[in-house]
Chains A and B, each alone.
Chain A
Amino acid sequence: MRYLRLYAHFVRFSFSRAMEFRLDFFFRIFMDTLWYAHHLVFFWVVYRHTTLLGGWTLDQMIVFAGGVFLVDAIQMTVLANNMWMLPNYVNKGDLDYYLVRPVSPLFFVSFRDFAANSFVNLMMAIGLLTWSLGRYPAPLGAGAICAYVALLLVGCALHYSMQMLFIIPVFWLHTAGGLREIFWSLDRYRDRPHGIFTGWVRRVLFSLLPFSLIASYPATLLFGGRPWPIVAHIAGVTAAALLFMVWVWSRGLKAYASASS
């Protein structure tokens, strides 16, 4: 309850700050709109030359894209600014400010800056996902849709854990962003359907670097996949990633040497 109240304060501050810089507010909406368009154009062009991609039709692919948009919008709204700043806090010693607060430092550094200017895009992503589900030619079932959305939220938690695991090494490496650039490169796998990947790459994307579990694998729930194995797989990997991330974070804090870090 205390954390929810604190988060409500973060959101209020973020909105008042975003209103001060209105031009940036619109730039960000413009950027995210183009990001959605770029994905839809990609699939639209590809499906002009094939009927199936990774076993999915265009309608299925649009539902998957809707899921990617939602996960990305949540990440951009809730986490992106915080993830961007974390390496700076560690390298400049500004993390001290968070360590002396009477709340979890991990909660504080992860959620302090709510990107109010991305909130409009979150609404847009929800609209696109609703549209993609509404235009799907076969009935999907309310239960399956709810489970899909729930798995996408779990996917957000998985994405957050993975991103943190690539940033936390900054405690030891003291580079500008930890291994953040590598994460961004690998994040491309999140935006493509898992059905196109084969062999060991597919196995890695389902386990060690589970990018396919964030938005792609949850979509199979809607298209006739057996629900429990899918839910168990995604929930299991996410729980493991979260626990591992929290453990690495605690090790990182021990290695943190304040302003001289």
Chain B
Amino acid sequence: MRLFWKIAGIEARKRMAYRTDFWLNALVAFVTELGVAYFIVLAMFGSSERLGGYSRSGMLLYYVSVILTARLVRPADLEWAISDDIYQGALNRYLLYPVSYGMMKYATQIGTLLPATVQVALFGAWVPFVLGIPEGLHVTPASAAMAAGAILVANLLHFLSVYPIQLVAFWADNCWSLLVAHRLVVMVFGGLVLPLTLFPAWSQPVVNALPFKYMFAFPVDALLGRLTPGEYAAGLAIALGWCVVGAGLSALVWRRGTLQYTGVGI
């Protein structure tokens, strides 16, 4: 456990080292995402008072929250790191270490949380003053605590959903296309592109059963006070269930992949 936190600490320091790049990219990405979402919301609410259970300012608050939540759940460029290790043969040295490779990589991901949290705090500081808390939403210390728990589970779930895909690099020369595909699916069914309540009623049971909602929309719903304690507990249970599936799949793919890994890179 001490090693886990040490690795996380090293990654956090590394992230902060490239300050200009780090902050400039993060700021432009945030402003752009929010800008596009802002204009989409304005256009959508041209003729309606409420959509998918949100008022206009409520939906804007949803978008700000989900964009910031995504920063805590999905680290910037670690999605490619594992497949890169395999392509380039850099995995060799990790195989000699007396710790699990997956655990080390997850510690690295946790390390990115510190700078990401600083970003979220800074980028989100204006929200209460500009958007306030729109009618129908209830942001309280309790809902914030629920959201924090949901984000931690979401972070693990996202890692465990990307990890087995990255391990496909044992067989394919390049699996970045699969990672982009994963990102697209997660964006749509996780509620990053649109609030999931806008999806048709018949699709809701499917969306609720899939793991993607629990990565982004679920923590935001918890933050905005849109979940009862029962719904929150059920959601966490489903997310943790998917974590078990992801961990099992990862172990299986890892075992088969390492059996035929030659260690020379591609």
Contacts and interface: CB of A to CB of B under 8 A. Distances in A.
Query: A and B, one complex?
Result: yes
Contacts of B199: 45
A88 to B, nearest CB: 14
B15 to A, nearest CB: 14
Interface stretch (B26-34, B136-144, B223-231): B26-34
A106 B193 CA distance: 36
Contacts of B181: 27, 30-31, 34
B48 A49 contact: yes
Contacts of B43: 50, 53-54, 195-196
B32 A189 contact: yes
Given A50-B48, A182-B24, A27 B36 contact: no
Interface string A78-107: 000000000000000000000000000000
A21 B174 CA distance: 9
A24 B187 contact: no
A6 interface: no
B39 A192 contact: yes
Contacts of A52: 46-47
A23 B194 CA distance: 32
Contacts, number: 102
Contact of A27 (B35, B46, B174): B174
B175 interface: yes
Interface stretch (A35-43, A144-152, A213-221, A239-247): A35-43
Contact of B32 (A30, A45, A185, A196): A185
A211 B181 CA distance: 24
Contact of A196 (B40, B51, B193): B40
A31 B40 CA distance: 25
A192 B36 contact: yes
Contacts of A49: 44, 48, 51-52, 198
Given A50-B48, A51-B47, A185-B25, 14 more contacts: A24-B172, A24-B173, A24-B177, A27-B178, A31-B180, A46-B40, A46-B194, A48-B200, A49-B198, A50-B46, A182-B25, A185-B32, A189-B32, A196-B43
Interface of A: 21, 23-24, 27-28, 30-31, 34-35, 38, 41-42, 45-46, 48-54, 175-176, 181-182, 185-186, 188-189, 192, 195-198, 201
27 contacts: A21-B174, A24-B173, A24-B177, A27-B172, A27-B174, A27-B177, A30-B181, A31-B178, A31-B180, A34-B181, A38-B187, A38-B188, A45-B194, A48-B198, A49-B48, A50-B48, A51-B47, A52-B46, A53-B40, A53-B44, A181-B28, A185-B28, A185-B32, A196-B39, A196-B42, A198-B42, A201-B35
